Chain A
């Protein structure tokens, strides 16, 4: 069974450009989470989907970030326009139930904004 996959693995863009990150959860997992690790610091929660609905988006830093999960399958995280401080690693995780310790993580997308 495939794990959580993320695309692209790396992205280098200029300040002001738009970038869209994609996450494909494990098939059948209703819960999908986005996290990010900025500048080698701690990994921080961004938001949580249950199927296509946003359950909790309290960690989204500002309105330049837009997450969607149409159809309750894969999810995208768009940053528009990107700023220098958005550089970091963006992780996606999915789980079948709501217990946080059952989350399976993807390898992350490394974003560099120049």
Chain B
């Protein structure tokens, strides 16, 4: 079946540090891949997406590349800010058109 596995948190970094949150997936075919973010007190927001192999999704300084050979979609940012503190969810769309989420990674950035 379809599943998404992402690194467990919490992840705590200092401001301006480099961020990587790992995400791997299991799916039939080649699903679209997503990163969602939930800031404190708000709903989940779509952060970025990639729809086919080697696509790179990017938004707000975050990037993730769809790697078919490693079934991965790791989230990266070169220099994090305090305002990036949130919970990040990796996800895919299944063949049944449902969103399959990972377990979420809480990110805290120290000033």
Contacts and interface: CB of A to CB of B under 8 A. Distances in A.
Nearest to A104: B43
B104 A37 contact: yes
A91 B99 contact: no
For B38, B43, B102, the residue with the greatest tally of chain A CB atoms inside 10 Å of its CB is B43
Interface in B26-66: 32, 34, 36, 38, 41-46, 49
B43 A3 contact: yes
Interface residues of B, number: 22
A105 B102 contact: no
B49 A101 contact: yes
A4 B43 contact: yes
Contact of A43 (B42, B93, B104): B104
Do most interface residues of chain B lie in helix, strand or loop, or is the interface mixed? Answer: strand
Contact of B98 (A3, A37, A100): A100
Nearest to B8: A40
B48 to A, nearest CB: 11
B43 A100 contact: no
Contact of A100 (B4, B41, B93, B103): B93
A88 interface: no
